[in-house]
Amino acid sequence: MDGSAPIDPLISSLSRRAPLTSKSETDLRSLSIRVREFRPNHDLVASGSRPRESCVVVSGFAARAQYLPDGGRQLDAIHIPGDFVDLHSLHLQRMDHSVAALGPCVAGFIPHSELISLMRENPQLTWLFWQSTVMDAAIARAWIACLGRKLALESLAHLVCELCVRLRSAGQVTDAAFYFPATQHDVADMVGLSHVHVNRTLKELRTKALLEWEAQRVHVLDFDALAAIAGFDGAYLRPGRPMPRNAPQLA
Amino acid sequence: MDGSAPIDPLISSLSRRAPLTSKSETDLRSLSIRVREFRPNHDLVASGSRPRESCVVVSGFAARAQYLPDGGRQLDAIHIPGDFVDLHSLHLQRMDHSVAALGPCVAGFIPHSELISLMRENPQLTWLFWQSTVMDAAIARAWIACLGRKLALESLAHLVCELCVRLRSAGQVTDAAFYFPATQHDVADMVGLSHVHVNRTLKELRTKALLEWEAQRVHVLDFDALAAIAGFDGAYLRPGRPMPRNAPQLA
DNA sequence: CGCTGGGTTGATGGCGATCAATCAATGTGG
DNA sequence: CCACATTGATTGATCGCCATCAACCCAGCG
């Protein structure tokens, strides 16, 4: 027993939303997880595949990536430890995007069949898994607003605010700073800009003494100012509704 | 009996994804629906509210709207008859966006409590409702790619392709044309452009003989050419995976 | 010690925003 | 029946944010 299991980040992520019943925790720990390590930029999940297992980030970061016909790339989600990166693959015929490691990343793969039979007997986990996919979608909507209507400075500030809030609740922010291994090229593909313009805009945020960002370490110097610039309201990141008394069933 | 009930579009939409069991259809018809009519641009659901019911489009169109601090607006989803517009509100504390009628719209409101108790006893509907929220998210991802990395011409072509495919499967496309009551201002807020540029870009699509769009009627003259311009691949709009044998439960 | 990946900076250009005006369709009140 | 206002489509002129192209620097590394 080394005191840390690959399922721990997921358990800890879910229990931030609702106190897990002891049955839920036992059920989760009974899942078989195949653990794999990934190098930066390598695919955890391939676009077009038909996954038979779902993937949880154990440590490090992952990002969903869409490749465009012209060779361009657009990222549409960032996943931190404890996040399912493709729980929605339970419901989709084919992956409409790939998932790539952002920096070095450890991921755990859980067979769909086990997730299904687990949910069959555990309404709380059915509820929380569904809720995970819903909260993912809320983040995607915030990105849509950034991409559609915000300036570069605003979008980048928004990204930093979102990461900061999510990582803080995951306990990965210390002294207002967190580790984030994305290159400026990666960041450009998140906010829909060129890497050159990302560079200049980050410089502007640095010049304004709002943040520092070097050596894969983001230091948030003035969160409130960043949030003001970004028009950031973190409400969409808060835990969802608890499961109602008579929760839905999946069997 | 007038042969058409407000629940019909939803039933027809769900049964396109999976053959509904007779229990499912009976359960759906037993729901109480409060029907309301909305004028163009009026809110079906208000941002910031905590809905206790979910809303289904019965006829017409609705769109999710986010309002930005500077007064700007970004739409992040279009809903056609049979779509739940806010099923995710089951899981969210507060609406992080509003839902507005696009043209005249009739909507039905179903209490969350009834949806929950229905799902408690009907795994197929639990599965299909969850799947609805997942498919919504797939569409949102496609919008992210458009907003982040596509040119105006490509984005607009993509929008038309998406609408055409969705409306065709809903049986609302005849002679390659469909009714769509959005103004150019609305369209601009979908694709993240100014209404002036939307006007010019639509003109270009017209000039190229790819579509006609007047009097709220969109006529798709050359779908394949539009899809080629847009880099449109409709795979993400296809029905999701069927419910596995041992489906999850929510009770 | 050359190579490679990532960050940084400058010069130039273009896509699309903004400002502004016109026009058609519809509606409203006198 | 006709001024008048309103909404939406359309077009032109100008401006600016950001893309693109092109260097250059630096650190890590085989």
Range with the poorest average pLDDT among A99-103, B130-134, B241-245: B241-245
The pLDDT assigned to A243 comes to: 86
Residues of chain A with pLDDT > 90: what percent? 94
Distance CA A57, CA A81 (A): 5
Our measurement of CA A146 to C1' C26, in angstroms, reads 36
Rounded to the nearest angstrom, the minimum Cα separation between A22 and chain B is 16
Q: Which of residues 181-210 of A touch strand C (CB under 7 A)?
A: 183-185, 195-196, 199-200, 202-203
With H, G, I as helix, E, B as strand and everything else as coil, classify residue B115: helix
Q: What is the pLDDT of residues A124-169, one digit of tens each?
A: 999 999 999 999 999 999 999 999 999 999 999 999 999 999 999 9
Helices (H), chain B: 8-15, 22-29, 112-121, 123-149, 152-169, 184-191, 195-207, 223-230
Average of per-residue pLDDT across B205-215: 96
Which residue among B121, B131, B144 places its CB closest to the CB of A91? Answer: B131
Residue B136, Ramachandran bin (φ over 0: left; ψ between -120 and 50: alpha; else beta):
alpha
Name the pLDDT band for B246 (thresholds 50, 70, 90): low
Q: Which residue has the tokens 């306990």?
A: A171
Q: What is the pLDDT of residues A209-233, one digit of tens each?
A: 999 999 999 999 999 999 999 999 9
Question: Within 7 A of a protein CB, which nucleotides of strand C?
Answer: 5-11, 15-20
User: Which positions in chain B touch A136 (Cβ < 8 Å)?
Assistant: 137
Name the pLDDT band for B106 (thresholds 50, 70, 90): very high
CA angle B73, B78, B82 (to 5 degrees): 145
Which tokens sit at A108?
Answer: 């755990």
Residues of chain A with pLDDT > 70: what percent? 97
* Nearest-by-CA chain A residue for B131: A91
Contact by Cβ (8 Å): B21, B93:
no
Q: What is the pLDDT of residues A230-242, one digit of tens each?
A: 999 999 999 999 9
The 8 Å CB, 24+ separation contacts for B143-147 are B143/A144, B143/B76, B143/B77, B143/B190, B144/A66, B144/A74, B144/A76, B144/A140, B144/A143, B144/A144, B144/A147, B145/A66, B145/A68, B145/A74, B145/A76, B146/B191, B147/A144, B147/A147, B147/A148, B147/A192, B147/B191, B147/B192
Cβ <8 Å between A249 and B131: no
Which residue among A72, A123, A131 places its CB closest to the CB of B91? Answer: A131
Q: What is the pLDDT of residues B109-140, one digit of tens each?
A: 999 999 999 999 999 999 999 999 999 999 99
The pLDDT assigned to B4 comes to: 84
Which A positions 178-197 lie with beta carbon below 8 A of chain B?
189, 191-192
Name the pLDDT band for A245 (thresholds 50, 70, 90): confident
Distance CA A98, CA B68 (A): 30
The pLDDT assigned to A2 comes to: 59
Which A positions 69-88 lie with beta carbon below 8 A of chain B?
69-70, 72-74, 76, 88
* Segments of A80-145 assigned E as strands: 98-111
Which tokens sit at A111?
Answer: 């067979």
CA angle A104, A46, A195 (to 5 degrees): 60
Q: Residue B249 pLDDT > 90, yes or no?
A: no
